[in-house]
């Protein structure tokens, strides 16, 4: 899946080292960011943690546990009957019709006659009749504990799920594509924001993805159960699924990273599927538009697409207002420090669905240098500063004995 080990090295003259690595398709150049101390980037740790959690879930906590999925009653069952209902969990749970992966235990209620009196048998015991089904699903323990759902995170106030769902994945393909996306965009955005703010940014985008899912799922269920409104073409973006439907995956945060990368280096050349050249901005917004169309008109993975849109919106907002991220970790202590400026931005590397970065044209660098000579450093655009900073680091890495050239400061937010 392109998740090869990555080398992070530094020489005595540079804090950023370019490392040539094979990406999807066998080619590609990765620009990996490390501190001068040689510590791995937060992006690297996130990839390691996601893979480790998936492996632990698969190897250690593989045995599924029972997770509540709500209740389904017959239409004529009253609230009083529901309160008096008895669930028989001694019987084996059976697969629920038209809901793959959902099982049910029978729910029994006291039978009443036409006058509303409880019917009893000859021994004087109430006669029980089936009135509904208690629904359950089976998940590995970590997934059961950490997935996001409207019922558990919102109604149940299990707020940790706004974070933990971002580190859980349904299968190896789900994990692989998400880690490719994190590998592609993470180093670029982390270099721009710095480690602390990058982690705050990434987790915030994931949280906003779950909030978008929550908003659409809650709205759909309110319309369905309180106003008896059914899903239709106009209301298709709403999620009428059960409030117990689980959401897992890192893709909400990754969509936020893609939108941030489009802001940081909009004109970087990437190759979609390894063959279609386009600007990074075009690719990032293109994937977001596809997610939006799938949410508006599609039928599959609508909850996931809702999270993608929420993450993308958060990415668009917070990359332009980085100061709002400074207080994210203040619950553990003051995160504000005069020695915490954003690191110089790096180039996007690796591949997300087969993205590969194209090396800057030397003529482009010459044009920027000529512009500095004619109009001064202040005349440079954000993109021009990015190109110059990137090529300065390349020159130092390829010729470490040469004196360091002066790099322009990273663009302000």
Tens of pLDDT, residue by residue over 17-43, are: 333 333 332 223 344 444 444 678 999
Of 211 and 345, the structure prediction assigns the larger pLDDT to: 211
Confidence band, pLDDT 50/70/90 cuts, at residue 54: very high
- The confidence band for 77, taking pLDDT boundaries of 50, 70 and 90, is confident
- Do 179 and 44 form a contact (C-beta atoms < 8 A)? no
311 compared with 38, residue with greater pLDDT: 311
Secondary structure letter of residue 227 according to DSSP: S
Most confident of 76-80, 239-243, 271-275, 380-384: 239-243
Least confident residue range of 35-44, 168-177, 241-250, 319-328: 35-44
What is the per-residue pLDDT across 259-286, written as a single tens digit (0 to 9) for each?
A: 999 999 999 998 887 788 999 999 999 9
Cite the DSSP H helix spans in 111-160.
141-146
**pLDDT for 229:** 86
Residue with tokens 């439907």: 245
Question: Taking all residues of the chain, what is their mean pLDDT, rounded to a whole number?
Answer: 80
Q: Which of 367, 189, 384 is nearest to 267 (CA)?
A: 384
Q: Where are the domains of the chain?
A: 66-138
Contact 74, 131 (CB under 8 A): yes
Residue-level pLDDT at 372: 86
Could you report the per-residue pLDDT of 136-150, keeping only the tens digit for each? 999 999 999 999 999
The Cα 343–Cα 360 span in angstroms is 21
HSE-CB for 145 with a 13 A CA cutoff: 7
What's the predicted TM-score (pTM) here?
Answer: 0.73
Selection from 173, 204, 205 nearest residue 54 by Cα: 173
Long-range contacts of 140-144 (CB under 8 A, 24+ apart): 140/57, 140/58, 140/61, 140/62, 140/63, 140/64, 140/65, 141/57, 141/61, 141/63, 141/65, 142/53, 142/56, 142/57, 142/61, 142/168, 143/57, 143/168, 143/246, 143/248, 144/64, 144/65, 144/67
Q: What is d(CA 75, CA 98) in angstroms, rounded to the nearest whole number?
A: 18
Average pLDDT over residues 189-213: 96
Per-residue model confidence (pLDDT) at position 1? 36
């Amino acid at each position: 899946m392109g998740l090869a080990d990555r080398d992070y090295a530094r020489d005595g003259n540079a804090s950023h080292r370019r490392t040539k690595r094979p990406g999807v398709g066998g080619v590609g150049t990765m620009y990996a960011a490390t501190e001068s101390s040689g510590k791995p980037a937060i992006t690297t740790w996130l990839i390691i943690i996601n893979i480790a959690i998936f492996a632990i879930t698969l190897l250690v906590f593989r045995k599924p546990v029972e997770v509540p999925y709500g209740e389904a009653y017959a239409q004529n069952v009253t609230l009083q009957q529901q309160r008096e209902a008895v669930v028989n969990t001694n019987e084996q749970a059976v697969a629920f019709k038209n809901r793959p992966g959902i099982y049910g235990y029978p729910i029994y209620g006291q039978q009443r006659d036409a006058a509303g009196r409880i019917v009893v048998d000859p021994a004087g015991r109430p006669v029980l009749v089936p009135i509904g089904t208690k629904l359950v699903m089976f998940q590995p323990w970590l997934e059961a504990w950490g997935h996001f759902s409207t019922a558990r995170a919102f109604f149940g106030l299990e707020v940790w799920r706004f974070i933990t769902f971002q580190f859980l994945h349904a299968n190896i393909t789900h994990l692989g594509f998400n880690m490719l996306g994190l590998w592609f965009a993470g180093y670029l955005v982390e270099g721009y924001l710095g480690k602390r703010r990058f982690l705050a940014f990434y987790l915030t985008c994931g949280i906003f993805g779950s909030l978008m899912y929550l908003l659409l799922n809650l709205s759909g269920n309110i319309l369905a159960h309180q106003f008896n409104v059914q899903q239709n073409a106009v209301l298709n973006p709403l999620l009428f699924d059960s409030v117990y439907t689980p959401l897992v995956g890192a893709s909400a945060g990754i969509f936020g990273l893609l939108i941030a990368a489009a802001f940081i280096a909009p004109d970087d050349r990437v190759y979609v599927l390894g063959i279609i050249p386009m600007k990074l901005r075009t690719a990032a917004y293109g994937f977001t538009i596809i997610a939006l169309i799938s949410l508006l008109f599609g039928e599959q993975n609508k909850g996931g697409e809702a999270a993608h849109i929420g993450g993308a919106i958060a990415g668009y907002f917070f990359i332009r207002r980085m100061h709002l991220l400074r207080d994210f970790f203040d619950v553990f202590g003051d995160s504000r420090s005069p020695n915490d400026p954003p690191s110089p931005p790096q180039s996007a590397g690796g591949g997300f669905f087969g993205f590969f970065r194209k090396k800057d044209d030397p003529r482009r660098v010459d044009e920027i240098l000529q512009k500095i000579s004619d109009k001064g450093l202040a005349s440079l655009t954000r993109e021009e500063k990015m190109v110059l900073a990137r090529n300065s680091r390349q020159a130092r890495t390829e010729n470490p004995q040469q004196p360091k050239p002066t790099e322009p400061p990273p663009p302000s937010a």
